[in-house]
Amino acid sequence: MYISNLSITNFRNFKSSNFIFKKGINTLIGENGSGKTNAFYALRLMLDGNLSINASKLIETDFNKGLNDWRGHWIAIKLEFKDLDSSEATTMLAHKMENVLEEESRGTYIMYFRPNKRLRKLLYELTESSDKNAEALKIILSKITINDYETVYCFRGNADLTNELVYKKIVGDFETIEFPDPDKDDQDELGNPTSQTFLIRNEIACTFIKALRNVVGDLKQIRQSPLLNLLRGTANDIKVKDSQFITDKVVELNATISELEEIKQLTDKVKSSLNDTLGFTYAPSVNIKSELPEEINKLLTSLTLWVGDGEEDQEGKLEDLSLGGANLIYITLKLLEYEYKQPKEEKAAHFLLIEEPEAHIHTHIQKTLFDKYQFENTQVIASTHSTHISSASKISAVNVLSKDKNQTYVCNPSKSLLPKECMRIERYLDATRSTLLFAKGVILVEGDAELILIPEMFKKVFGISLDEIGVSIINMSSTVFEHIAKLFHDERIHRRCSVITDNDISLIDLPEDSSIDNKEQKKARDSQTKGIERRSKLDTVYKDNQWVQPFYAKHTFEVEFILSGNEDETISILDKIYTREADKTNPRLKLASVDSRTKGVEILRLAEKEGKGWFALLIAEGLSPKTLIPTYILEAIAFASSHITSKHIIKMAKHIMENRLDKSTFEAILEKGKVESLEHDAILAEIISALDKLDSENQLSRFYKMVCKEREHQYAE
């Protein structure tokens, strides 16, 4: 049995979210604050027997902040299971969970946190009243407190409360003031309520490994330490004869220590001091005794772990080990504890929840841990920021959490993709450890030149990195973008993806009759034909996809770079390519030519001579804040970064003004903003206005207008 779906309604980050899970290893990917920990807590509320039953009594702050008012609304957490087998425990669960009308082996288990029946009845009566109005509803809702809420667990429920229409039908419509009669609850929809004497978490095994913060401290916790739990289990396995022998030895040792002459003398001194202080009438009788634990299970829990670095014979205490080493040991002990319990507990299913296992662990070890550890009969759900761990999971078993203001959207990258398509993407991610699943925006490029120069240009010109604004640039090492770009779609990942490629329009004149092309013309014509075909294909494929947009260099990236006005940056690298002055003269003249074709052909010659990647590295060394970013590149970055805020743009403006020796203007605008308590957007408007006065074609104003345009398109869609 495994969890196939988790749906969450109105709980913390999640307004209405659906997670899709598979057998084996599953991963949750998302930025900080996107809700990975909250998703785990939702799972634990349903599965983890270590949580107090009172944990299901939620509080006001557990409601999603996107609700105008939490009062009257419901929180729902629903699990769907598949592959229920015929084991004794599963049969018991199937009897309570599985919908007998369906042939498919599936079951559902739901937790509702809702107003009690009395309040739901009041809301229904308002619905039926001839005097119903918004004010009357407001009065009823205003009197609701969290103590008026109840937690109900149900089996065999079919309702999907993440669907707005279903939510209004079951919970009620707060706008039209239509609420259902609680006396006529639809059990097929809501499910069959169960008393808290039987919860599914009593019938399954769930182990939660929290994010590692203080491993050494956790290993010393009496109840939480996996080492102590393993030692307790070992104590139960020790034969009675051996156990008695050890106990007798400890009793003897306690007696020996207590009978030491030094201990007796100290005891006499304590007694004498008490008698002198309190007198014989009030002085208590005292004795100093050794109290090493004599029970075998308590005795074994006094054992501690000594460790070495794996290469030397020397060992020391755990606190002397590196943080990464300590974390590895902790995870290993937790997995061993889980493995130890599994065959001893007859459970319907085993679930292992691991929060950010990569903390302080070497990247190669991360993937090895998840590739080699055999999670038999176990479904694993791990949250991660690591490309190594995410690549150990199938793309179909990945859920990407995307944060947007007060709520989180859950995206399933494999939805509606064919198995063969998923396999190709998985192979790519496994080979490249790409960050594209973790980014807030993605730019796909053809090769090394774009990969090297685009981030460097952006950083030099705007003083902020693409990483800082959450944009990943991915080198496809080809012009085949479709396999990866298809991840970004209404049905899959809701993040913007720019595709940057060359149109490869020929710089040299081509005869009308291709049959008379010379070698150079034939090469140029072939590239141009492929470029036109590529553009036509990309435009057709992504015409109706709001998440993917192609951007084209008219010729090639290198040509567009120099034609944008970057002759100085290009000429400056001639000293690094040639040693003799005579060899630099002709290239310098061509690169400085007013003829676009001449300088374009020359920069391509130099790029091919040095190799495009190495040539880009040389160019990068000569970039400056005055470098001009080609328009199509700027547009591509704007498309992928429409999520950035006014704070980012203000930081970029500061960098530009400081490099223009106009820092005082910038500081004056900021000071005005403080005095007048202006919002960031208002401050930014003044900064852009000041920049426009300095240069009406300045790159920041152009970029900001592009971003604003993309935002308008995004909201319109």
**pLDDT tens-digit series, residues 127-138:** 999 889 999 999
H helix runs in 401-470, sequence order? 419-432, 448-462
Residue 95: what pLDDT?
Answer: 46
Percent of the chain with pLDDT over 90: 52
Q: What is the per-residue pLDDT across 17-44, written as a single tens digit (0 to 9) for each?
A: 999 999 988 999 988 889 999 999 999 9
Residue 526: what pLDDT?
Answer: 94
pLDDT level of residue 639 (50, 70, 90 thresholds)? very high
Whether the Cβ atoms of residue 96 and residue 199 lie closer than 8 Å to each other? no
The domains of the chain are located at 2-23+44-200, 218-330, 439-565+612-633, 645-716
**36-53 exposure pattern, b = at least 16 Cβ within 10 A, e = fewer:** bbbbbbbbbbbbbeebee
CB-based contacts of 92, cutoff 8 Å, min separation 6: 203, 348
H or E segment to which residue 499 belongs: strand 496-502
Distance of alpha carbon 517 from alpha carbon 529, whole angstroms: 14
Strands (E), 89-204: 106-115, 149-155, 192-194
Q: Does the pLDDT at position 374 exceed 80?
A: no
Whether the Cβ atoms of residue 43 and residue 406 lie closer than 8 Å to each other? no
Distance from the Cα of residue 266 to its chain's centroid: 61
What values do phi and psi take at 193, rounded to 5? -60, 145
Residue 304: both structure tokens together: 């501690």
Distance of alpha carbon 577 from alpha carbon 581, whole angstroms: 11
Whether the Cβ atoms of residue 20 and residue 393 lie closer than 8 Å to each other? no
Distance of alpha carbon 253 from alpha carbon 187, whole angstroms: 66
Quote the pTM value. 0.83
Report the mean per-residue pLDDT for the chain.
86
Q: What is the per-residue pLDDT across 408-425, written as a single tens digit (0 to 9) for each?
A: 999 999 999 999 999 988
3-state secondary structure of 67: coil
Whether the Cβ atoms of residue 568 and residue 652 lie closer than 8 Å to each other? no
Average pLDDT over residues 611-632: 96
Residue 609: what pLDDT?
Answer: 95
Distance of alpha carbon 225 from alpha carbon 231, whole angstroms: 10
Residue 251: both structure tokens together: 């009793």
3-state secondary structure of 82: strand
Instruction: State the distance between the two ends of the chain, measured CA to CA, in whole angstroms.
Output: 40
Average pLDDT over residues 171-177: 96
